[in-house]
Amino acid sequence: MNVGLVMIGDEVLIGQIINRNAAWIADVVTASGGRVIEHCTVADDAQQLIATIDRLRAECDVLLLTGGLGPTHDDITKPVLADYFNDTMEVSHQWMEHLHDWMKQRGRTVTDRNAGQALKPTTARLLPNPIGTAPGLLFDRDGIVIVAMPGVPKEMQGIMSDHVMPLLRDRIQREAIETTEYLTLLTTGIAESNLADAIGDPTQFLGVSTLAFLPNYHGVRMRIGARGASAEQRREELFRVRDILMGKAGKYVFGEGDTTLASVIGSILKERGQTLATAESCTGGLLGSMLTDVYGSSSWFVGGYVPYANEAKVRDLGVLEHTLEMYGAVSEQTAKELSEGTKHRTGATYAISITGVAGPGGGMPEKPVGTVWISVAGPLRTVTLKYQFGSDRRINRERSAGAALGMLWRMIR
Amino acid sequence: MNVGLVMIGDEVLIGQIINRNAAWIADVVTASGGRVIEHCTVADDAQQLIATIDRLRAECDVLLLTGGLGPTHDDITKPVLADYFNDTMEVSHQWMEHLHDWMKQRGRTVTDRNAGQALKPTTARLLPNPIGTAPGLLFDRDGIVIVAMPGVPKEMQGIMSDHVMPLLRDRIQREAIETTEYLTLLTTGIAESNLADAIGDPTQFLGVSTLAFLPNYHGVRMRIGARGASAEQRREELFRVRDILMGKAGKYVFGEGDTTLASVIGSILKERGQTLATAESCTGGLLGSMLTDVYGSSSWFVGGYVPYANEAKVRDLGVLEHTLEMYGAVSEQTAKELSEGTKHRTGATYAISITGVAGPGGGMPEKPVGTVWISVAGPLRTVTLKYQFGSDRRINRERSAGAALGMLWRMIR
CATH of residue A366's domain is: 3.90.950.20
Same domain, A185 and A171: no
Which residues of chain A neighbour B358 with C-beta distances below 8 Å?
292
- Looking at CA atoms only, how far is residue B395 from chain A in angstroms? 9
Q: Which residue of A has its CA nearest to B222?
A: A11
Asked if B282's CB is within 8 angstroms of A285's CB, the reply is: no
Answer yes or no: do A192 and B70 touch at CB < 8 A. yes
What is the per-residue pLDDT for B395?
A: 86
Structurally, chain A folds into a number of domains equal to 3
Minimal Cα–Cα distance from B58 to chain A, Å?
14
Q: Supply the CATH number for residue B21's domain.
A: 3.40.980.10
Average pLDDT over residues B322-331: 96
Best A36, A112, A308 member to test B by mutation, with max B CBs in 10 Å, is A308
Q: Residue B142: what pLDDT?
A: 81
Please report residues of A whose CB lies closer than 8 A to that of B285. 278, 280, 284-289, 291-292, 304, 306
pTM value surpassing 0.80? no
A15 pairs with which residues across the strands? Answer: none
**Cβ within 8 Å, pair B13-A288:** no
Tens digit of each residue's pLDDT (9 = 90 or more) over B58-89: 899 999 999 998 777 678 899 999 999 989 99
Taking a C-beta distance cutoff of 8 angstroms, is the pair A281, A337 a contact? no
B11 and B118 fall within a common domain:
yes
* Closest CB from B22, B295, B303 relative to A393: B295
Question: Is there a single domain that holds both residue B266 and residue B229?
Answer: no
Same domain, B23 and B111: yes
Chain A CB contacts of B152 below 8 Å: 215
Which residue of A lies nearest to B359 if distances are taken between CA atoms? A295
> Cβ separation of B284 and A289 shorter than 8 Å?
yes
Give the chain A residue whose CA is nearest to the CA of B183: A16
| Same structural domain, A281 and A345 | yes
B144 with B197, same domain?
no
Q: Which residues of A touch B7 (CB under 8 A)?
A: 39
Task: Provide, as residue numbers in chain B, all residues whose Cβ is less than 8 Å from the Cβ of A27.
Answer: 14-16
pLDDT at B38: 97
Kindly determine whether residue A284 and residue B305, on different chains, have CB atoms separated by under 8 Å: no
B271 lies in the same domain as B407: yes
The arithmetic mean of pLDDT across residues B231-258, rounded, is 94
What is the pLDDT, as a whole number, of residue B178?
62
Angle, vertex CA A277, rays to CA A273 and CA A282, nearest 5: 155
Q: Is B227 helix (H, G, I), strand (E, B) or coil?
A: strand
Instruction: Say whether A284 and B282 touch across the interface (CB within 8 A).
Output: no
Q: How far apart are alpha carbons A29 and B317 in whole angstroms?
A: 47
Which among B27, B111, B196 has the least Cβ separation from residue A14? B27
Instruction: Please indicate whether, in this complex, the C-beta atoms of B39 and A288 are within 8 angstroms of each other.
Output: no
Averaged confidence pLDDT in chain B: 92
Q: Which residues does A135 contact at the CB level (< 8 Å), separation at least 6?
A: A92, A95, A117, A120, A126, A127, A128, A129, A159
- pLDDT tens across B189-199, in order? 998 888 999 99
Q: Are the beta carbons of B23 and A12 separated by less than 8 Å?
A: yes
Cross-chain residue pair B27–A15, CB shorter than 8 Å: yes
Are A157 and A183 members of one domain?
Answer: no
Inspect the interface and report whether the beta carbons of B305 and A306 lie closer than 8 Å: yes
| CA angle in degrees (0–180, nearest 5) for B381-B385-B387 | 160
Taking contacts as CB-CB distances below 8 angstroms, the residues of chain A near B262 are none
Closest by CA to A61, choosing from A229, A150, A174, is: A174
Shortest Cα–Cα distance, B136 to chain A (Å) = 18
| pLDDT for the residue A9 | 93
Contact A196 B280 (CB under 8 A): no
CB–CB of B302 and A309 under 8 A? yes
Chain A / chain B CB contacts < 8 angstroms? 302
Cα B21-B221-A136 angle, rounded to 5 deg: 80
Yes or no, beta carbons of A303 and B308 under 8 Å apart: yes
The terminus-to-terminus CA distance of chain B in angstroms comes to 41
With beta carbons less than 8 A apart as the criterion, state whether A9 and A151 touch.
yes
Q: Is A282 in contact with B301 (Cβ distance < 8 A)?
A: no
- Give the mutation candidate from A289, A330, A393, A399 for the B interface (greatest B CB count, under 10 A): A289
CA distance B137 to chain A (A): 21
CB nearest A295 (choices: B192, B296, B393): B393
Mean pLDDT of B161-185: 84
Suggest the residue from B28, B72, B338 to mutate for an interface test with chain A (most A CBs closer than 10 A). Answer: B72
pLDDT band for B372, please (50, 70, 90 cuts): very high
- Residue A190 sits in a domain whose CATH number is 3.30.70.2860
- The arithmetic mean of pLDDT across residues B289-308, rounded, is 96
Across the interface, whether the CB atoms of B196 and A15 are under 8 A apart is answered: no
Contact B16 A27 (CB under 8 A): yes
pLDDT below 70 — which residues of chain A?
Answer: 73, 176-178
Nearest CA in chain A to B10: A212
Rounded average pLDDT over B258-263 = 94
Quote the ipTM score: 0.70
- For residues A88 and B229, the model is more confident at A88
Structural domain containing residue A274: 261-412
Asked which of B256, B283, B310 is the last residue of a domain, the reply is B256
Listed in order, strand segments (DSSP E) in B43-92 are 62-66, 89-91
> Which of the four pLDDT bands, split at 50, 70 and 90, describes residue B111?
confident
CB contact under 8 A, B223 and A114: no
Residues of B with CB below 8 A from A307's CB? 303
pLDDT higher at B173 or A405: A405
Same domain assignment for residues B379 and B333 = yes
Residues B59 and B97 grouped into a single domain: yes
In chain B, what residues touch A396 (CB-CB under 8 Å)? none
Q: Which residues of A touch B392 (CB under 8 A)?
A: 154
**B31 CB-near residues (< 8 Å, 6+ apart):** B182
A98 touches A64 (CB < 8 A)? no
Spatial strand order in the sheet of A350-356: A382-388, A371-377, A350-356, A276-280, A301-306, B301-306, B276-280, B350-356, B371-377, B382-388
Q: Do A284 and B295 touch (CB under 8 A)?
A: no
Mark whether B242 and B351 lie in a shared domain: no
Same domain, B152 and B266: no
pLDDT of residue B290: 97
pLDDT at A176: 60
Q: What are phi and psi of A152, to 5 degrees?
A: -65, 120
Q: What is the mean predicted confidence (pLDDT) over B125-140?
A: 92
Cβ <8 Å between A26 and B40: no
Q: Do B23 and A18 touch (CB under 8 A)?
A: yes
Which of A196, A230, A256 is at the close of a domain?
Answer: A256
Which residues in chain B have their CB less than 8 angstroms from residue A302's CB?
Answer: 308-309, 311-312
Residue ending a domain, among B128, B156, B175, is: B175
pLDDT at site B191: 85
Work out whether the CA dihedral A215, A158, A2, B42 comes out positive or negative.
Answer: negative
Query: Which residues of A fall within a CB distance of 8 Å from B338?
Result: none
Distance of alpha carbon A21 from its chain centroid, rounded? 11
